[in-house]
Amino acid sequence: MGRARKTASRHPFRENLEIGVFAVVAAMALKVFAVEAYQIPTGSMQPTLMGTPLLDPVTRQTSGAIHDRVLVDKVSYWFRDPERWEVVVFRYPLLTHVNYVKRLVGLGGEQLLIDDGDLWARPLGSDEDFAILRKPWKVQAHVWKRVWPPPHTAAATWLGWSEAGDVSRGEDGSLRFSGTGRTLYDHRIKDQPNHGYPDAIADRVPTRNARAQYVVGDLRARFRVTPEAADGEFRALLAFGGLDFTLTLRPDGSLTLTQPELGLEREGRLSGDGAFDLDFSWWDHRLRLAANRSGDGLLWQEDFVLASRQPTRTALDFRSRGGRWTLEPPTVWRDVYYLPPRQSGAPPVFDVPEGHYFMMGDNTQGSLDSRDWQAETLTFEPAAADGTERVRGDHMAHGADPTFDNPRWNREGTVMTFRDEHGGIHQYSITEMQRSTDRLEPAPFVPREYVIGRAIAVFLPIPPFSPVWRFGLVH
């Protein structure tokens, strides 16, 4: 059998051109219909997604920046609707050629309430009680913001902790308890705007005069305790969420978790010996305790139905009652504290219509999101000189970028520039404005057709182009 012989092309230039055109078209089709990379310009989702200038630690002047690049999946939402807690890219309804990225927190057909840092919902038109919205662990595990140890502080210094009784410091920075030793971290953990950032940039991120306002009760603590004798007990008293939890450990591997107000009393036992590794979380009225010892582990998770409450105290209190114990420095995180609308007098309740969504940033102190979007509508009668009878756009006053404010007057106060919801620019004289009517109203919802896709991964920046690695999945 003869073998086919490849003949030289008579039109190599044309074929290469066709291949190049096909490659460009395929890449464009992939970008438009499947996956696209976006750069994060602002800090509304920090530290989940970063878009911020960085300050020189000495001069406090701008010195560099971080702008995450994220991959956006455009395919999934062809086959299903967006789901609560997903990080979504969408067209900003009041400036439709601009894309925003936020976390989807409210669904169509429900009434959403922002209260005490948590989100609550009930069916639209219902008079039943609001139910708290709980982030699943796969999301929650990635939105915790580290509180302790503070940036640039060695955990072994135990900054902010007090000690009493039979407690001594080990050379490795651990605490050694015997008899009735105790160490206490009794500080109200508030929604500090710099929580959660990597150490390399924690003191370089501008906070624009944001300040802590509220005590955050949704906390997580991870710590290791090692029994050094066969007797006694070790107790961790955790004041989280306005509740006092007590976790009791014994050298034989048994442990007890109690909380009287909740009627909570759970008992378990871990086989083996050596250290207890504990990971205790309280968020969205959900409790989670993961405990491990010598490879043996248990996981307790339980939901509770509580009235909304604002905690006044947060604390971690470790005590020994006999025996000898070693406590390694813990790590403490806090949850996102969802702030209510910043507009004076605006209610924290939103009726989300069917086919629409409510979006919020993880950095609620620095996020312009559904809480505060406002539409401004100008109506002219008779029509303005450019033929305008009615024009609608976003009301953006005193923003971080003055050139983006809307509307804007010139220095003389004689001409007003107005940007409409499609990006069109209009200019009106003071005479025209005097015979116009101006209506300002909330515009908090994103229509389904404005949703572009789901952010799935951060892939840039990386050193040496950035002081920190930004690489991983988005949750």
pLDDT tens digits, 304-331: 999 887 899 999 999 999 999 999 999 9
What one-letter code names the amino acid at 294?
Answer: S
Distance CA 67, CA 77 (A): 26
Which residues are within 8 A (CB) of 260 and not within 5 positions of it... i.e. 6 or more apart? none
Q: How far is CA 7 from the centre of its chain?
A: 60
- CATH 2.60.120.200 residue spans of the chain: 145-334
The pTM of the full predicted model, rounded to 2 decimals, is: 0.91
Strands (E), 139-295: 145-148, 162-164, 167-169, 175-178, 182-185, 219-227, 233-240, 243-249, 254-259, 264-269, 276-283, 286-293
Q: Nearest CA to 474 among 362, 382, 389, 387?
A: 362
- Of 206-210, 349-353, 363-367, 458-462, the one with minimum mean pLDDT is 206-210
Per DSSP bridges, beta strands 254-259 and 243-249 are: antiparallel
DSSP code of residue 215: B
Report how far residue 30's alpha carbon sits from residue 227's, in angstroms, rounded to the nearest whole number. 58
Q: Helices in 318-366 by DSSP H: which ranges?
A: none
Coarse DSSP helix, strand, coil percentages of the chain, rounded to the nearest 5 percent: 10, 45, 45
> What three-state secondary structure class fits 370?
coil
Fold (topology level) of 39-138+339-369+447-473: Umud Fragment, subunit A (2.10.109)
Fold of 145-334: Jelly Rolls (2.60.120)
pLDDT digit string (tens) for 251-295?
A: 999 999 999 999 999 999 999 889 999 999 999 999 999 999 998
The pLDDT tens digits for 182-232 are 999 999 999 999 899 999 999 999 987 788 889 999 999 999 999 999 999
Half-sphere exposure in the Cβ direction for 248 (13 Å, CA): 12
Tokens 């948590």 identify what position? 118
Helix (H) or strand (E) holding 473: strand 472-473
Average per-residue pLDDT in the chain? 91
Residue spans in the chain of domains classed CATH 2.10.109.10: 39-138+339-369+447-473
Distance, CA of 150 to CA of 334 (rounded, Å): 13
Outline where 125-185 has alpha helix (H): 137-143
Question: Is 267:347 a contact under the CB 8 Å cutoff?
Answer: no
Residue 385 to residue 427: CA distance in whole angstroms: 10
